[in-house]
Amino acid sequence: MDARLSECDKMLSGAPYDPACPELVALRRRAQGLMRAYNQTIDGDAARACLLPQLLGTWNDAVIRAPFHVDYGCHIHFGPGCFVNFNAVILDVCEVRIGARTQIGPNVQILTADHPRDGASRAAGLEWGKPVGIGADVWIGGGAIILPGVSIGDGAIIGAGAVVTRDVAPGATVVGNPARRPENTQG
Note the pLDDT tens digit of each residue in 42-88: 999 999 999 999 999 999 999 999 999 999 999 999 999 999 999 99
| Pure H helices in 14-133 | 22-39, 47-55, 119-123
Query: Residue 127 and residue 169: Cα distance in Å, rounded?
Result: 28
Q: Which of 69, 75, 77, 115 is catalytic?
A: 115
Tens digits of per-residue pLDDT, 147-169? 999 999 999 999 999 999 999 99
Q: Has residue 2 got a pLDDT over 80?
A: no
Which residues, including other chains, have CB under 8 Å from residue 91's CB and lie 6 or more apart?
70, 71, 109, 110, 111, 112, 113, 129
Q: What is the mean pLDDT of the chain?
A: 95
pTM, entire model: 0.93
Closest CA to 145 of 99, 115, 179, 94: 179
Residues 6+ apart with CB under 8 A from 60: 78, 79, 80, 81, 82
Phi, psi of 9 (to 5 degrees): -60, -45
115 is catalytic: yes
Instruction: HSE, CB side, 13 Å, CA atoms: give it for residue 8.
Output: 11
Report d(CA 151, CA 72) in Å as an integer: 20
Let me know how long the chain is.
Answer: 187
Chain centroid offset of residue 149 CA: 11
